[in-house]
Amino acid sequence: MLRSFDLVLIGVMTATAVVTYSIKHAAELKLEEVRRLETEIRLEHDTIDLLKADWALLTQPNRLHRLTSVYHSELELVPTEPTQLAMPNELPMPKSQLPQPETTIEELIAGADPEVAAAIRGVAAAKAAPSAKASSTAASVPVPLPRGGSRVDVISTGSVNR
C-alpha cells in the first residue's frame, strides 16, 4: 500500500512541477513581450521628439525669411493684408443653422407633396409621348445665352481685396 501511495505522490509532484514550469515559461514570454513593447514605445517617443526638433528647425522665422528672399521670383509671396482676413460674420452658415426643408426625402419619394406628384406625372407623360411630339417640344426648350466676356472661374467672396 505504501508503494502505490508513493507512486501517486511522485505523480502529483511531477504534475505540479510541469504546471509550475509551464506557468513560469508563459510569464517569461509575456515579460519579453512587455519589454519589446516598451522598447517600441520608447523608439516611437524618440522619433516624435526628433520630428518635433526637425519641425522647429524647419520653421524658424530666420530660415523662412531667407528662403522667401531667395525664391521670391518663383513664389511671389507678399505679406498678408488685414483686409484679406475674413470676419466671423462673413463665413458661411453652419449646417446646424441651415433652414430645414418643409418636406422630408421620404415624402418626396412617396409623392405626398402635390408639386412633386405633378412633376412625376409630367415626367411619366413625357416618357409616354410619341417620339415625333417629343422632337417638336425639344425645339421649344429654352437655351441659356452665353455670358458676357467674364471668366467663369472668377469668384468674388467679398473678404479678399485683389
Cell 417620339 maps to which residue? 131
Answer for the pair 26, 18: CB distance below 8 angstroms, yes or no: no
Q: What is the mean pLDDT of each run of 10 residues along the chain (162 residues)?
A: 86 96 97 97 94 91 88 84 79 79 72 74 78 55 58 48 46
Joined together, the cell numbers standing for residue 60 give: 524658424
Q: Provide the pLDDT for residue 155.
A: 46
Task: Compute the distance between CA of residue 109 and CA of residue 144 in angstroms, rounded to an integer.
Answer: 30
pTM equals: 0.40
